[in-house]
Structure 1
Amino acid sequence: MKHLTILVPDSQTGPNTISCIVGTYHVFTEANRYYDKLNREPIFNIELAGVSKQSNFVNGLLTVMTQKDITTIQKTDLIIVPAVISNFSAIEAGNSMLSAWILDHYTKGANVASMCTGAYLLASTGLLDNKNCSIHWKSAANFHKLFPKVNLKTEQIITDEQGIYTNGGGYSFLNLLLYLVEKFYDRQTAIYCSKIFQIDIARQTQSDFMIFNGQKSHGDEMVMRAQDYLENNFSEKISMEKLSEKFTVGRRNFDRRFIKATGNTPVEYLQRIKVESAKKELESSRKTVNEVMYAIGYTDIKAFREIFRRFTGLSPLEYKNKYNKAVIK
């Protein structure tokens, strides 16, 4: 039987930390139970492990008792790293011991999966350097600032690379659990768990959940003014050449500084502003897709659809049908 270690962080925890821990234990226990019903040997021995006997969550309202001290685990096959605080800045206390332990056991052959902001702990090991990683879109800017060598893929629900798995934000860790069940058990067991826990097994992206808020903590005053201009005039026809002249900066240098500060080219930034405005209109108004398109400054429906799908994973009409209450009725 393989060994599954669910890590219990020593500090820097939030409400979603305990959700990830309990959810993982529940889903894998059910997968084992399903195998047992089929007269098959369960895949995992599941244990909660940490550096202390218990950890407190939600201002002490909840407590999780660990079953093992990590130092007593000689071998494990799969490590689950639950979410931590979203305003992570540096690893603290016993979590640094967890980070070192993860690195050690990965080098010994263990697979590692981080959930949502658990990617902070995983990235602190260096194992995510030059690898793809998903995380909650709201934490992306802070994460990139702390771990610039990691290739962020915030539009993806799950990344899978060299025995390292990450997933997006919130309760999308449930989709990662189904993915892992299918990988370590089989497709049939994953489908069974999806039905028992009512988790959508077909979900591939978190793009339509993302809310675009331009990166503003970079300290480049020129880029900040350019961002403000784009955000206040996005429905008009904007020439990036003229915009760079407006701030007396050469176009190449303008693009370079903008990308460094925001993570987007000026054109991409403008597109994302337009799409975010379109999303709000499609969610709450009775405007048609064409009316929304014209309102944000597009005249080509094909181009609008392509750009909208690139950032949301859905067509404008699919998005409206999914989120507009009037349409749902």
Structure 2
Amino acid sequence: MPEMARPLHISLVAIPDAVISTLTGIYDVLGSFRMLGRLEPSIPESPPFTVEIVAIERGNVALASGVPVQAHRSVLEVAATDIIIVPSVLLGHDGWTPGRYPEIVDWARRMHTEGALLCSACSGIFLLAETGLFNGRAATVHWGYAEAFSKVFPDVPLSPERVLVVSGEREEYITSGASMTWHDLVLYLIARHVGATAAQTVARYFALQWHHDGLAPYIVFQGRRDHGDAAIAEAQAWLSTHFSIAGPVEEMVRRSVLPERTFKRRFTEATGFTPIDYVQRLRIEDAKRRLERTDEPADEISWRVGYEDPAFFRRLFKRVTGMTPSAYRRRFQVPTFARSKAGRSST
């Protein structure tokens, strides 16, 4: 276990956009060592972390849900900290508006200069990216916010399929991906600063999960539609209900009345996918829903989504999602007891 001369100070940032479940979850887990130390010999007797909720001003902060939390101190009162964590934030229809929290951004930049780690859970990276310190640094964010993030912060390279990204010369920039990957963030911090055994103990006690398979299985494919190419948009609309037919690309070309090369070039420019890749993503997305909601064999699902060769379907499914169809079904299918209960309540 790493030796610590003093507890590391963690500043957990509360802003009105923050999601309460992420903030309080991180606070509870990282602040649990005093309690766990009485129960588990692998946990150090002295808590390794001191966790404070900080905000622009001390006192109540109403979060995105309207539920308030108590900020222990204003960021202007925090002259030194070791780790800054910004929890998930909830974006509205207009996305993220920069410049609303200059005091926090300036403070985070100053604390980083003095050695602090900058950590974000899910969409908390929106606030930290305003420091400019993540420009050119690999990061991750909830896949549903990736496009909105890149529009505001185009200089931050994103990998939304990754669970946790650690970058920087000191490994001082730590970002976690979608929603519950704050589990991975806190377990990483515990493993890094307290030890792997302590991280395993905390994970077991709270039933936290390392997302070993990455986030690709969770990502729902939604083809880009805001590109402004009417011919391609019409092809996408048709394809959304005809992707399982034989030769869908050829049929799209025929219906578009465009030269094949022109159609394929425009389709790729508009959507970011070649026509055949786009078809495959739609087919795999439909297969995922069938694996989640039915008991149909994988071979039957392969045929229903447009593949006559089940072996090819299985290889493609694993390449896209990172999991075999059977593993995906085990992970995501609603348990039998839950399905039977839902069935009884609806009758």
The alignment's TM-score, normalised by the length of structure 2, stands at 0.82
| In 2: Cα distance, 1:25 partner to 1:277 partner | 38
Measure how far apart 1:218 and its partner are: 3.0
Name the aligned partner's letter for residue 57 of structure 1: L
Measure how far apart 1:267 and its partner are: 2.7
| In 2: Cα distance, 1:143 partner to 1:265 partner | 24
Name the aligned partner's letter for residue 86 of structure 2: V
* Pairing 1:122–2:128 present: yes
Query: In structure 1, what is the equivalent of residue 195 of structure 2?
Result: 186
Query: In structure 2, what is the equivalent of residue 172 of structure 1?
Result: 181
Shift of the 241–106 alpha-carbon distance from structure 1 to 2, 3 Å rule, reads: farther
8 Å CA contact 1:235–1:296 kept in 2: the answer is yes
Query: In structure 2, what is the equivalent of residue 103 of structure 1?
Result: 109
* Pairing 1:238–2:244 present: no
**Which string of whole-angstrom CA distances, capped at 9 and with x for unpartnered residues, describes residues 207-260 of structure 1?**
222222222233332331232232232112336577457535566665554445
| In 2: Cα distance, 1:100 partner to 1:252 partner | 50
8 Å CA contact 1:309–1:315 kept in 2: the answer is yes
Measure how far apart 1:187 and its partner are: 0.5
Shift of the 130–263 alpha-carbon distance from structure 1 to 2, 3 Å rule, reads: farther
User: 2:149 aligned to 117, 139, 143, which one?
Assistant: 143
**Which string of whole-angstrom CA distances, capped at 9 and with x for unpartnered residues, describes residues 127-174 of structure 1?**
333333222222223223333333322222211112211112222212
Bigger drift between 140-149 and 151-160 goes to 140-149
User: 1:287 aligned to 281, 293, 296, which one?
Assistant: 296
Query: In structure 1, what is the equivalent of residue 21 of structure 2?
Result: 19
Measure how far apart 1:81 and its partner are: 0.6
| In 1: Cα distance, 2:34 partner to 2:268 partner | 48
Measure how far apart 1:32 and its partner are: 5.6
**Which string of whole-angstrom CA distances, capped at 9 and with x for unpartnered residues, describes residues 63-117 of structure 1?**
1121221122222221101111133331253x23322322332233221111111
Query: In structure 2, what is the equivalent of residue 43 of structure 1?
Result: 48
C-alpha RMSD over aligned residues? 2.8
Measure how far apart 1:34 and its partner are: 4.6
Shift of the 72–305 alpha-carbon distance from structure 1 to 2, 3 Å rule, reads: same
For residues 144-293 of structure 1, what are the structure 2 equivalents within 5 Å? 144-162=150-168, 163-201=172-210, 203-238=212-247, 240=249, 243-244=252-253, 246-247=255-256, 254-255=263-264, 257-293=266-302
Bigger drift between 31-40 and 270-279 goes to 31-40
Query: In structure 2, what is the equivalent of residue 29 of structure 1?
Result: 31
Measure how far apart 1:188 and its partner are: 0.8
8 Å CA contact 2:244–2:305 kept in 1: the answer is yes
| In 2: Cα distance, 1:293 partner to 1:208 partner | 17
Name the aligned partner's letter for residue 98 of structure 2: I
Shift of the 33–321 alpha-carbon distance from structure 1 to 2, 3 Å rule, reads: closer
| In 2: Cα distance, 1:251 partner to 1:144 partner | 31
Name the aligned partner's letter for residue 78 of structure 1: I
8 Å CA contact 2:248–2:279 kept in 1: the answer is no
Query: Match of 1:209, SS?
Result: coil
Query: In structure 1, what is the equivalent of residue 3 of structure 2?
Result: none
Name the aligned partner's letter for residue 144 of structure 2: K
| In 1: Cα distance, 2:182 partner to 2:165 partner | 12
Name the aligned partner's letter for residue 310 of structure 2: I
| In 2: Cα distance, 1:126 partner to 1:260 partner | 29
For residues 277-316 of structure 1, what are the structure 2 equivalents within 5 Å? 277-316=286-325
How many residues get paired? Answer: 323
Bigger drift between 212-221 and 287-296 goes to 212-221
8 Å CA contact 1:7–1:50 kept in 2: the answer is yes
Measure how far apart 1:59 and its partner are: 5.4
Bigger drift between 23-32 and 78-87 goes to 23-32
Name the aligned partner's letter for residue 80 of structure 2: K
Query: Match of 2:96, SS?
Result: coil
Name the aligned partner's letter for residue 136 of structure 1: H
* Pairing 1:52–2:57 present: yes
| In 2: Cα distance, 1:97 partner to 1:249 partner | 54
| In 1: Cα distance, 2:61 partner to 2:143 partner | 27
User: 1:68 aligned to 57, 62, 73, which one?
Assistant: 73
Query: Match of 1:21, SS?
Result: helix
Q: Identity of aligned pairs, percent? A: 28
| In 2: Cα distance, 1:255 partner to 1:99 partner | 44
Query: In structure 1, what is the equivalent of residue 344 of structure 2?
Result: none
Gaps of 5+ in 2: 1-5, 341-347
Gaps of 5+ in 1: none
